[in-house]
Amino acid sequence: MRVIFMGTPNFAVPTLKALIESSHEVVAVYSQPPRPAGRGMQLTPSPVHVLAEKHGIPVFTPTSLKSPEEQEKFRALVADAGVVAAYGLLLPQAILSAPRLGCINIHPSDLPRWRGAAPIQRTVMAGDTSTACCIMQMDMGLDTGDVLARHQFTIPPTMDASAVHDAMSLIGAKMVLEVLEEFKNGTAKATPQAAEGVTYAAKITKSDRVIDWSWPAALLYSQIQGLAPLGAITGLKEETIKILKAQVEQGDASKPPGAVLDDALLINAGNGTALRLLELQRPSKNRQNTSQFLQNYPVTVGLFTHNPA
């Protein structure tokens, strides 16, 4: 089949790679425009853009798909299907309906749970122990389309959002090929999403990253796991520190939340629990384990953490 692929970040790369290696013809790739990156802030094409160019596939990088000119350019590609994976632009109805079979999207959550911009992060931050990868027939709603395929996925307690992201990107790539084969054979079946259990995965903001030490350590652990590799943040001494890895331990109910309980960064949390900080990062520094961190940034027992700037 003739396929238009629409994606931008690393999450989308395995799907484009799978399509290139399949019997389908990728007639064009749409990706976000190059962005400033690196120390020199040079314009850098997206990972999807780089892969497409490597294989000689035409790449389009519009800032919007709302204009009649862009929509006509898309229609002129005469695609059988559009495949979307973390593209980052709103698709108007004229785009969604242009391919013969419409557009399908990889959504890494157990729809209708966690519709929206940050499904993987919100899944892990909420402490969900299971999720799914869904292939959805796109419509004009926010991740409201019928589900063409669903792959259930168990999240081990030690798996953070970064690892879930990588697993979902590979699962989604395999599922897209299966759904396209079902389209080809006329066996594809679309199932409407349930009306119950809808939740929304809002974009991650700075306030989502701030540790509130009055929370029980188990909730803080889920927050940290869900924010990997971006990192949760806390004030410590005079700096804002990223917390990248931690574990739950027994706390001291007689001490206030945020108190340092020992010389290896056990921080008191709510309900008599505590969080052992295992990997941290100071501003403009590399991530470090606790012993490396404390060599150059000693923290005193009893010191209170504070809100980051």
Q: Within a domain: residue 159?
A: yes
- How many separate domains does the chain show? 2
Q: Are residues 221 and 142 in the same domain?
A: no
Q: List beta partners, residue 39.
A: none
Domain of 291: which CATH number?
3.10.25.10
Instruction: Using the 3D structure, point to which of 181, 200, 219 is the last residue of a domain.
Output: 200
Q: Where are the alpha helices (DSSP H) in the chain?
A: 13-21, 47-54, 68-75, 93-96, 119-125, 161-185, 206-209, 217-227, 290-296
Residues 6+ apart with CB under 8 A from 259: 252, 267, 268, 302, 303, 304
Q: Are residues 7 and 87 in the same domain?
A: yes
Q: Within a domain: residue 82?
A: yes
Q: Are residues 41 and 181 in the same domain?
A: yes
Q: Are residues 74 and 116 in the same domain?
A: yes
Contact 32, 55 (CB under 8 A): no
Q: Is the pLDDT of residue 309 over 80?
A: no
Q: Is the pLDDT of residue 151 over 80?
A: yes
Average pLDDT, the chain: 97
Alpha-carbon Rg for the chain, nearest whole angstrom, is 22
Confidence of residue 40 (pLDDT cuts 50, 70, 90): confident
Q: Within a domain: residue 216?
A: yes
Q: Within a domain: residue 305?
A: no
For CA atoms 283, 289, 294, 295, the dihedral sign is: negative
Average pLDDT for residues 49-69, to the nearest whole number? 98
3-state secondary structure of 91: coil
Q: Within a domain: residue 309?
A: no
Q: Are residues 139 and 13 in the same domain?
A: yes
- Token pair of 94 as six digits: 């004229």
**pLDDT tens, 62-89?**
999 999 999 999 999 999 999 999 999 9
Q: Are residues 165 and 112 in the same domain?
A: yes
Backbone conformation region of residue 4, classed left if phi is above 0, alpha if psi is from -120 to 50, else beta:
beta
Q: What pLDDT sits at residue 20? A: 98
pLDDT above 70 covers a percentage of the chain that reads: 100
* CA max distance for the chain: 70
Q: Are residues 228 and 103 in the same domain?
A: no
Cα separation of 98 and 267, whole Å? 55
Instruction: Using the 3D structure, point to which of 166, 200, 234 is the last residue of a domain.
Output: 200
Cα separation of 259 and 263, whole Å? 12
| Amino acid residing at 50 | V
pTM > 0.85: yes or no: yes
Q: Within a domain: residue 69?
A: yes
Q: Are residues 168 and 215 in the same domain?
A: no
Contact 142, 186 (CB under 8 A): no
**pLDDT tens, 176-189?**
999 999 999 999 99
Q: What pLDDT sits at residue 269? A: 98
Instruction: Using the 3D structure, point to which of 144, 172, 200 is the last residue of a domain.
Output: 200
Q: Which range of residues forms the domain containing residue 216?
A: 206-296
Q: Are residues 157 and 84 in the same domain?
A: yes
Average pLDDT for residues 271-285, to the nearest whole number? 97
Domain of 33: which CATH number?
3.40.50.170
Q: What pLDDT sits at residue 41? A: 82
Q: Within a domain: residue 288?
A: yes
Q: Are residues 183 and 263 in the same domain?
A: no
Q: Are residues 183 and 256 in the same domain?
A: no
Q: Are residues 246 and 195 in the same domain?
A: no
Contact 115, 123 (CB under 8 A): no
Q: What pLDDT sits at residue 50? A: 98
Contact 209, 232 (CB under 8 A): yes
Phi, psi of 221 (to 5 degrees): -60, -45
Q: Within a domain: residue 107?
A: yes
Contact 28, 58 (CB under 8 A): yes
Q: What pLDDT sits at residue 307? A: 83
Listed in order, strand segments (DSSP E) in 93-146 are: 103-107, 115-116, 130-137
Cα separation of 6 and 49, whole Å? 10
Q: What pLDDT sits at residue 123? A: 98
| Amino acid residing at 123 | T
Contact 2, 77 (CB under 8 A): yes
Q: How far is CA 286 from each of CA 76, 101, 185, 243, rounded to the nearest angstrom? A: 48, 47, 51, 12
**pLDDT tens, 217-230?**
999 999 999 999 99
Cα separation of 243 and 251, whole Å? 18
Backbone conformation region of residue 308, classed left if phi is above 0, alpha if psi is from -120 to 50, else beta:
beta
